Structure 1
Amino acid sequence: MAEIPTGGQMLWKLEGDDRVLHLRHNSSEPWRPYEEFPQYVLPDPLGFSKGIATFLALLKKDWTATKS
């Protein structure tokens, strides 16, 4: 994982039958799927939501989880 800025925002959005992590660096940016930030993406364990490993890593960098 590349150098990660602190203080971003995360949101889980339902896409079909899956919850997918969406990110933005600040509230003035639109939400984007986490895969659009390849520098942050970590592989997910089999059977977990898309982005869970990235979500946990970003929490450690003081990113905030926002309710949808």
Structure 2
Amino acid sequence: MTDIQTGQMTWRLPGSSECALHLRHNASEPWRSYKEFPQYFLPDPPGFSEGYATFLALLKKNWQPL
């Protein structure tokens, strides 16, 4: 994971009951599942929320949780 852009992360989309990580590079882009970003995707440990490992890695790269 080199040359990572920063962006925004959310666990729950407005109006959705799904709890999984969603990403976007800036506020003008729509939210997309973290699985649609193969350059950032990391496998999750068993029993953790979908996107947990990716969330932690991107948080360390100064991505903004919303």
TM bucket (normalised to shorter chain) is: 0.7 to 0.9
Offset of residue 61 of structure 1? 0.6
Taking structure 2 as the reference length, the TM-score comes to 0.86
Does residue 33 of structure 1 match 2:33? yes
The residue number in structure 1 matching 2:43 is 43
The residue number in structure 2 matching 1:52 is 52
Runs of 4 or more off by more than 6 Å in structure 1? none
| Distance in 2 of aligned mates of 1:35 and 1:2 | 18
Unaligned runs of 5+ in 1: none
Offset of residue 35 of structure 1? 0.4
- C-alpha RMSD of matched pairs (Å): 1.1
Taking structure 1 as the reference length, the TM-score comes to 0.84
| Distance in 2 of aligned mates of 1:55 and 1:25 | 14
Offset of residue 5 of structure 1? 1.1
Unaligned runs of 5+ in 2: none
Q: Give the number of aligned pairs.
A: 62
